Amino acid sequence: MRLAPHAPAARLPPSVLVALALAHAVACSPNTVCKVSGPINDPSNRTLRRNIMSYGLGQFCQQMTTRNAPLRLAPDAPVIGRFFPQHCAQQMLANGDLWVQFDGFGYAWTDLSRKVTFTSAATIQYNDDFKCGEDNAIYAYFDTRNVSPPDFRVNQIEQPVANLVQSWIAPFADTFGRQMVSGQLGQGFTVIQGTDGSTDFSVGHLPLGKPPAHPYAMHGGDRVTYEDLRTQVHSGERDFIGPVTIDGSGRALYLQMHLDGVPAVDVFVVPKSEGDASLQLYYQYGASGPLAYPPRFADVVQAGVEYQRSLPLPAGMYYVVIDNTPSAGQAAPPAPLFGAVADVPAVASYVIQTGDAP
């Protein structure tokens, strides 16, 4: 994508010599740039800021398209679905704001529809700014200015009766749409250029002077939490968590889980390519069938028993799948009584971490 031409700064330093010196310094040395703290910390001086934006644009879209957005009906409620961003594009606007467009697909569960799968798209505009830290590192901030209403479109509905009531999806679409854009995208992001020329990235508004956390650079006894949530997996359904990155050799995935609601569920760990194939089947069809590939790791989580496992894995990306279906694994949902349709949800509180292999 061709970016829009750079707009002139709203206000430049009064001295042309200072402006030229700053323009040269920002391209060469953050240490030199930050010594002139007045113009650098002026949020109106966007021309200088754009020299450190290119890394952040690509990294932000990469970060956003490699994680899911959990969906809930209320902030403290369990997860009942997920949104998986697939495409991301960005452009610098004439006023210096960053414009981002994204789309993706997802699934969720409601009483009326059972599983419903959907696509969604939206745009977000960021108000960018930057500051210099005490160590002369440059912190470029991209804070959310406004968000378009998401375009929410239903793909499949597991329960056909839901098609007879056209208005049922409206409140859910609005709730899920807000959550999709309030996750990775809605948090904004920060780009840090160090005095040694290095460039770093963090989702959200990182406090000035605070270094970003580097999950896969931690070693020893440290573990990094990918997700720490509570999910509600209804009868006949699955939840695809991830993908989680294992970066480098000698690393492991750590699972901890506590189950309520049903006697047992299956838990699988599958490589991203195989998990993507199973996720597409889950998205395309109402009823849940077998996984696309046999899982590399499969286990059963029993209710009331604290579950903990460490899985040394090769470098790559993986899904953790919680399965409450009869079509995969050893556990199965409770059988219906007297011909009734059984829906006993499994409620799993889980923590997924990465760290050095034991």
Residue 323: which CATH number? 2.60.120.680
Structure tokens that stand for 310 in this block: 């460490």
Question: Where does a domain end: 181, 203, 225?
Answer: 203
Do 99 and 147 belong to one domain? yes
Whether the CB-CB separation of 321 and 278 falls below 8 Å is answered with yes
Please name every residue paired with 107 in a beta bridge, in sequence order, or none if there are none.
82, 117
Terminal CA-to-CA distance of the chain, rounded, Å?
A: 45
* One-letter amino acid for residue 256 of the chain: Q
Structure tokens that stand for 22 in this block: 């700053």
Q: Looking at the domain assignment, is residue 210 inside a domain?
A: no
Question: Where does a domain end: 175, 203, 231?
Answer: 203
Residue 53, phi then psi, degrees to nearest 5: -85, -30
Question: Where does a domain end: 203, 238, 265?
Answer: 203
Q: What is the pLDDT tens value at each position of the chain, 358 positions in all?
A: 233 333 333 222 222 222 222 333 333 444 555 654 455 556 556 565 555 555 556 666 777 788 888 888 776 789 999 999 999 888 878 777 888 888 999 999 888 788 989 898 888 888 877 777 777 787 878 788 887 877 888 888 888 776 666 666 667 666 666 665 555 456 677 777 777 766 676 767 888 888 776 555 555 567 888 888 899 999 999 999 999 999 889 999 999 999 999 999 999 999 999 999 999 999 999 888 999 999 989 999 999 999 999 999 999 999 999 999 999 999 988 765 544 456 889 999 999 999 999 8
Q: Residue 229, exposed/middle/buried by CB under 10 A (0-12, 13-18, 19+)? A: middle
The kind and range of the H/E element at 282 are helix 272-284
Residue-level pLDDT at 199: 67
Do 349 and 226 belong to one domain? yes
Could you tell me the sign of the dihedral formed by the alpha carbons of 38, 43, 44, 45, in that order?
A: positive
Residue-level pLDDT at 178: 62
Do 60 and 190 belong to one domain? yes
Number of domains in the chain: 2
Q: From CA 227, how far away is CA 241, in angstroms rounded?
A: 9
β-pairing verdict for 199-203 and 69-71: unpaired
Q: From CA 191, how far away is CA 330, in angstroms rounded?
A: 46
C-beta neighbour count of 16 within 10 angstroms: 9
User: Sheet of 237-246: strands edge to edge?
Assistant: 237-246, 316-324, 264-271, 297-302
C-beta neighbour count of 135 within 10 angstroms: 12
Do 192 and 228 belong to one domain? no
* One-letter amino acid for residue 330 of the chain: Q
Do 172 and 221 belong to one domain? no
**3-class SS at 101?**
strand
Do 194 and 242 belong to one domain? no
Q: Looking at the domain assignment, is residue 3 inside a domain?
A: no
Do 195 and 219 belong to one domain? no
Please name every residue paired with 114 in a beta bridge, in sequence order, or none if there are none.
110
Do 188 and 258 belong to one domain? no
Whether the CB-CB separation of 231 and 239 falls below 8 Å is answered with yes
Residue-level pLDDT at 26: 35
Q: Looking at the domain assignment, is residue 168 inside a domain?
A: yes
The whole domain housing 118 covers: 18-203
Do 82 and 133 belong to one domain? yes
pTM of the predicted structure, to 2 decimals: 0.75
Q: From CA 126, how far away is CA 142, in angstroms rounded?
A: 6
Q: From CA 295, how far away is CA 329, in angstroms rounded?
A: 9
Residue-level pLDDT at 328: 94
Q: From CA 126, how far away is CA 180, in angstroms rounded?
A: 16
Do 142 and 246 belong to one domain? no
Residues in the chain: 358
Do 149 and 276 belong to one domain? no
Do 188 and 65 belong to one domain? yes
Q: Looking at the domain assignment, is residue 4 inside a domain?
A: no
Q: Which of 119, 219, 125, 113 is nearest to 169 (CA)?
A: 113
Structure tokens that stand for 76 in this block: 């403290």
Q: Looking at the domain assignment, is residue 78 inside a domain?
A: yes
Residue-level pLDDT at 322: 98
Q: What's CA 189's distance to the chain center, in Å?
A: 13
